A = this chain, B = another copy of it.
Amino acid sequence: MLGIKNKKVKELLNSYKEISVLQKTLALLSWDLNVNLPASAGEERALQIAYITKLLTDRWLNGKFRDVLDRAVNKKEKFTQEEKAVIRNLKQAGKYYFKVPKEIITEFAETTSRSFLAWQEAKLNNNFGDFLPHLKKVIRLNQIIAQHLGYEDNPYDALLDMYEPGLTTSKMKRIFSLLKPELLELLERIKKSKTYKQKDGLKQEDYPVDDQKQLALFILRRIGYDMNSGRMDVSSHPFTESLGRFDVRITNRYSTSDFIESMMVALHEGGHALYEQGIKKEYSQTPLEGGVSLGVHESQSRFWENQIGRSYEFIRFVTPILHAFYPQQLMDFGSETFFKRVVRVRPGLIRTQADEITYNLHIAIRFELEDGLINERIDPEDLPNIWNKLMKKYLGVVPTSDSEGVLQDVHWSYGSFGYFPTYTLGNLYAAQFANSIRREIDIEKLCEKGDFGPILSWLRTNIHQHGSLYWPDELVRKVTGEQLNAKYFLAYVKEKYKRVYSL
């Protein structure tokens, strides 16, 4: 790697290669599980994943590696920027292994793999009670883990920091205290508007899966996704998986009655993938490989999905293509109709189906609940009740079943507490980055022409190539000149949706 001369850091890079290869191997085992695994092979695959995870843990806990890292961390040597970043990233990624006792790591892995299965069952049977004992264990283990990781104000901080370095509960509270009132007010006005009640005339039609796939691939190629370093498959929940710098795979899903979702998924997952495909090649198999945080990663998917894909100009560009793919189904409709559909605001029960206005309210609910659960202000038994009350309060809708309510997301069953807020950070980063891009580039004009090269090029230069060199706060200051704040997102949604709903 460029810029690495320090002997200790070289030693660290050498050891890290094993960690990197094991992570990629795990990524393949998990990608294949979601995309290809035959129905009966679940248990075998779980064994394989558990074993490679164990090997990975062993590599982190390798005494010599830790020793060199400790000495590098404590040394007041003159490190280059890349050397510093290597040490910082290893310290951050290794924290979990170094500070949490091995028994807890093992117990956590076993508990969460069981609780994931229990959640699947419970969601299917709409029975929160069956998931409850597992959830309690997961919460208790997260509390223990937080104690070991350490924190200043709130144990939840220790968990947040694992997903977004430097993120704290109070920082997140400040963000939501700005977002919530404004979004709620905007939502109220939208709901009262005339446009809200208007029908767009689009009917239920049949959109063949293969056409949707071809259209998604067309869009992906057009925005710059390199199909020689990736592929698109099908899975029940779309995701992006990097099996290496030249093997960044995305998945999509197709409903034959809807032509929009698979297009938006292509833009969203494509955004994640463009980030990974744009990172400097020489960072491969080093601690600088991969996007820097979940929040920044989500900014890239949200940028392409919302800032680009949900713009009138993009829809103008894509309209003739939609007509070419679905002449019978869509020829009677134009850009105006398609645009209204992709920016339609509808408070709903399901986070993954939420629009740009209500999405962050779904996250606000989860954030409040996680903070309450970790700090024992909320009893897990009361979760369904409190969930439904918060849904009523923020979104004005109440789930009729826990499957559509508190059981809808996989995250808690996987053991992830502190992950959800990064989705909101992604929305904010995306708007703040977009604001900076707009100072230099006329995004809308380019979108209308379908000429995404200059936009990707800007992202590559300013964000992608750096991989994990700059931490999120450094990166956002470097790119936008200020720290992350909610004003760009609020300005963006207000301006856009006031226009859409003629407020």
A residues apposed to B, CB below 8 Å: 18, 21-22, 24-25, 28-29, 32, 36-41, 43-45, 47-48, 51-52, 55, 226-231, 243-247, 249, 284-285
Q: Would you call B51 and A21 a contact (CB within 8 A)?
A: yes
In the assembly, how many copies of this chain are there? Answer: 2
Please measure, in the bound complex, the distance between the C-alpha atom of A36 and the C-alpha atom of B40, giving whole angstroms.
22
Residues on the B chain within 8 Å of A227, using CB: 38
**How near does chain B come to A272, taking the closest CB pair, in angstroms?**
16
**How near does chain B come to A134, taking the closest CB pair, in angstroms?**
25
Residues on the B chain within 8 Å of A231, using CB: 36, 38
**How near does chain B come to A65, taking the closest CB pair, in angstroms?**
16
**How near does chain B come to A25, taking the closest CB pair, in angstroms?**
6
Q: Would you call B32 and A47 a contact (CB within 8 A)?
A: no
Residues on the B chain within 8 Å of A285, using CB: 47
Looking at chain A's contact residues, the main secondary structure is helix
Q: Would you call B39 and A244 a contact (CB within 8 A)?
A: no
Please measure, in the bound complex, the distance between the C-alpha atom of A228 and the C-alpha atom of B25, giving whole angstroms.
24
* 8 Å CB contact of A246 from B18, B44, B230, B247: B44
Residues on the B chain within 8 Å of A32, using CB: 28, 32
Q: Would you call A228 and B51 a contact (CB within 8 A)?
A: no
Please measure, in the bound complex, the distance between the C-alpha atom of A296 and the C-alpha atom of B47, giving whole angstroms.
28
**How near does chain B come to A403, taking the closest CB pair, in angstroms?**
25
**How near does chain B come to A191, taking the closest CB pair, in angstroms?**
46
Q: Would you call A24 and B38 a contact (CB within 8 A)?
A: no
9 closest residue pairs by CB, A with B? A44-B244, A41-B247, A40-B246, A39-B228, A41-B246, A21-B51, A40-B229, A40-B228, A38-B229
Q: Would you call A244 and B51 a contact (CB within 8 A)?
A: no
**How near does chain B come to A280, taking the closest CB pair, in angstroms?**
15
Please measure, in the bound complex, the distance between the C-alpha atom of A244 and the C-alpha atom of B45, giving whole angstroms.
8
- Tell me the nearest residue of chain B to A32, going by C-beta: B28
Please measure, in the bound complex, the distance between the C-alpha atom of A47 and the C-alpha atom of B37, giving whole angstroms.
24
Residues on the B chain within 8 Å of A226, using CB: 40
Residues on the B chain within 8 Å of A18, using CB: 51
Q: Would you call A228 and B38 a contact (CB within 8 A)?
A: yes
Q: Would you call A52 and B25 a contact (CB within 8 A)?
A: yes
Please measure, in the bound complex, the distance between the C-alpha atom of A22 and the C-alpha atom of B44, giving whole angstroms.
12
Residues on the B chain within 8 Å of A249, using CB: 38
- Tell me the nearest residue of chain B to A52, going by C-beta: B25
- Tell me the nearest residue of chain B to A231, going by C-beta: B38
Most central of A29, A32, A41 by chain B CB within 10 Å: A41
Residues on the B chain within 8 Å of A284, using CB: 44
Q: Would you call A48 and B25 a contact (CB within 8 A)?
A: yes
Residues on the B chain within 8 Å of A229, using CB: 38-41
Please measure, in the bound complex, the distance between the C-alpha atom of A230 and the C-alpha atom of B39, giving whole angstroms.
8
Q: Would you call B51 and A243 a contact (CB within 8 A)?
A: no
Residues on the B chain within 8 Å of A38, using CB: 227-231, 246-247, 249
Q: Would you call A44 and B228 a contact (CB within 8 A)?
A: no
Please measure, in the bound complex, the distance between the C-alpha atom of A246 and the C-alpha atom of B47, giving whole angstroms.
13
Most central of A29, A55, A246, A285 by chain B CB within 10 Å: A246
Jot down 25 A-B pairs with beta carbons below 8 A, ordered by A. Answer: A18-B51, A24-B44, A25-B25, A25-B29, A25-B48, A28-B28, A28-B29, A28-B48, A36-B231, A37-B247, A38-B227, A38-B247, A38-B249, A40-B228, A40-B229, A41-B243, A41-B246, A41-B247, A43-B246, A44-B243, A44-B284, A45-B247, A47-B285, A48-B244, A55-B55
- Tell me the nearest residue of chain B to A37, going by C-beta: B247
Please measure, in the bound complex, the distance between the C-alpha atom of A36 and the C-alpha atom of B285, giving whole angstroms.
21
Residues on the B chain within 8 Å of A43, using CB: 246
Please measure, in the bound complex, the distance between the C-alpha atom of A14 and the C-alpha atom of B181, giving whole angstroms.
59
- Tell me the nearest residue of chain B to A285, going by C-beta: B47
Residues on the B chain within 8 Å of A246, using CB: 38, 40-41, 43-44
**How near does chain B come to A28, taking the closest CB pair, in angstroms?**
6
Residues on the B chain within 8 Å of A228, using CB: 38-40
Please measure, in the bound complex, the distance between the C-alpha atom of A226 and the C-alpha atom of B247, giving whole angstroms.
30
- Tell me the nearest residue of chain B to A245, going by C-beta: B44
**How near does chain B come to A136, taking the closest CB pair, in angstroms?**
31
Please measure, in the bound complex, the distance between the C-alpha atom of A284 and the C-alpha atom of B44, giving whole angstroms.
9
**How near does chain B come to A145, taking the closest CB pair, in angstroms?**
27
Please measure, in the bound complex, the distance between the C-alpha atom of A39 and the C-alpha atom of B18, giving whole angstroms.
24
Most central of A38, A227, A284 by chain B CB within 10 Å: A38
Please measure, in the bound complex, the distance between the C-alpha atom of A32 and the C-alpha atom of B226, giving whole angstroms.
19
**How near does chain B come to A244, taking the closest CB pair, in angstroms?**
4
